[in-house]
Structure 1
Amino acid sequence: MFSKIKENVFLELFIAFFKIGLFTIGGGYAMLPMLRKEVVEKYKWASDEEMMDYFAIGQSTPGIIAINTATFIGYKKKGVLGGIFATLGVVFPSWIIIIGIALFYNQFASNPYVESAFTGIRVVVIVLILNAVIRMGKKAIKNWYSLLIFIIAFVFVAFINVSAIYVILAAGILGIVINSIKEGERNDS
């Protein structure tokens, strides 16, 4: 019986994304290390590059990035039903936690221990996000023009407050233009 359960890809999708959803404190970026461990290393459902693509698409489409990414990966593995199982897996822990918090919020919101715990958790979330950015950056920045796009995008989003949607669209167009020029140069040689 357990071998059948173990071989059930739908159950694997649900459990893998349930774990990711359960321990994703701090939003979608904080899930990157766990997502990589489960999806790329453990189950090999996607490569690092594919995962970055799914994450980028999930970031630029409407909705919650964790849900979008889970849906894309589940769909890739097992179609619509796989997308549903992965999505339910990543959502279910949050749903349980939110209901629990809603039930008991007034009883522990002003507790100094709870406040201190959240202060500590916030710091760890920043570390997780920074770690994910460094790992993804090593994979994504492969040449001078991808470094240039990174710097320009960072400046526009972080300092000029341009909407990330416009920056993503502009970066995509710039990437297409640069690659088209490079392809033209290769064909001319």
Structure 2
Amino acid sequence: MKQWDIFIAFFRSGMLGYGGGPSSIPLVHKEVVGTYKWMSDDEFSDILALANTLPGPINTKMAGYIGYRVGGYLGMLNAIVASIVPTIILMIILLTTLSSFKDQPWVQGMTKAVLPVVGVMLGVLTWDFVTKSKQGLGWTGAILLIVTSFLAIEILDIHPGIVIIILLAAAVLKKNKAEKGEAKA
């Protein structure tokens, strides 16, 4: 039953994630955290951050890791197949169908309408992460971290992967320091 659940979760996100990786992230989040409760928001955000640092399609990387974590090697293969097969099938169908209608106004409107929907989905997911980070860091710490990260990426032109690695390392060091402090007490 668990393998079927893995397949369905990633099949849905693969089928409905029109527009690439960013549009599938909120869908994977809904399935993994909301529907099946395989992990918490914090764990999902860690996986998302790590997946963003690695090359390749984000949905496939997340499917592989989450599938492995939930169902072992078979779960990993199951999740990857479930996330890429719908995309392949839809690409073949949509590209052959839409290419013959590409100049029609309704097709152009449909493709333009996807962008704001994906933007809203990512905005909602971002807001969820910000409110969750408030619990651990407080509003001041969360806002300071967001502003600092934004400035590092946009103004200083530091690659987002490097910023994520620095933040992950800082979190691990902070956790280790806290554990050592508890051990001495």
**TM-score under structure 2 normalisation?**
0.84
The CA distance in 1 between the partners of 2:115 and 2:10, in whole Å, is 22
SS of equivalent residue, structure 2 residue 19: coil
Give the equivalent residue in structure 2 for 1:102. Answer: 95
Q: 1:48 aligns with which of 41, 53, 58?
A: 41
Q: 1:131 aligns with which of 102, 120, 124?
A: 124
Percent identity between matched residues is 26
Instruction: After superposition, give the CA deviation of every residue in 1:114-137 in whole Å (9 maximum; x if it has no partner).
Output: 111111111111111111111122
Q: 1:71 aligns with which of 64, 67, 82?
A: 64
Instruction: After superposition, give the CA deviation of every residue in 1:47-75 in whole Å (9 maximum; x if it has no partner).
Output: 22222222122112222111111111111
Greater displacement, 76-85 / 132-141: 132-141
SS of equivalent residue, structure 2 residue 7: helix
Change in 2 beyond 3 A, CA 1:148/1:123: same
Aligned-pair distance for 1:150?
2.6
Q: Which runs of 5+ in 1 are unaligned?
A: 1-7
Give the equivalent residue in structure 1 for 2:171. Answer: 175
- How many corresponding residue pairs? 182
The CA distance in 1 between the partners of 2:146 and 2:110, in whole Å, is 34
SS of equivalent residue, structure 1 residue 67: helix
The CA distance in 2 between the partners of 1:90 and 1:59, in whole Å, is 17
Change in 2 beyond 3 A, CA 1:184/1:10: closer
**TM-score under structure 1 normalisation?**
0.83
The CA distance in 2 between the partners of 1:168 and 1:87, in whole Å, is 24
The CA distance in 2 between the partners of 1:179 and 1:173, in whole Å, is 10
Instruction: After superposition, give the CA deviation of every residue in 1:27-47 in whole Å (9 maximum; x if it has no partner).
Output: 333323322322122222222
Change in 2 beyond 3 A, CA 1:172/1:37: closer
Change in 2 beyond 3 A, CA 1:11/1:181: closer
The CA distance in 1 between the partners of 2:25 and 2:162, in whole Å, is 23
Q: Which runs of 5+ in 2 are unaligned?
A: none
The CA distance in 1 between the partners of 2:103 and 2:96, in whole Å, is 15
Q: 2:85 aligns with which of 78, 84, 92?
A: 92
Change in 2 beyond 3 A, CA 1:176/1:151: farther
Quote the RMSD (CA, aligned, Å).
2.3
Aligned-pair distance for 1:183?
5.6
Change in 2 beyond 3 A, CA 1:149/1:184: farther
Change in 2 beyond 3 A, CA 1:169/1:106: same
The CA distance in 2 between the partners of 1:91 and 1:38, in whole Å, is 16
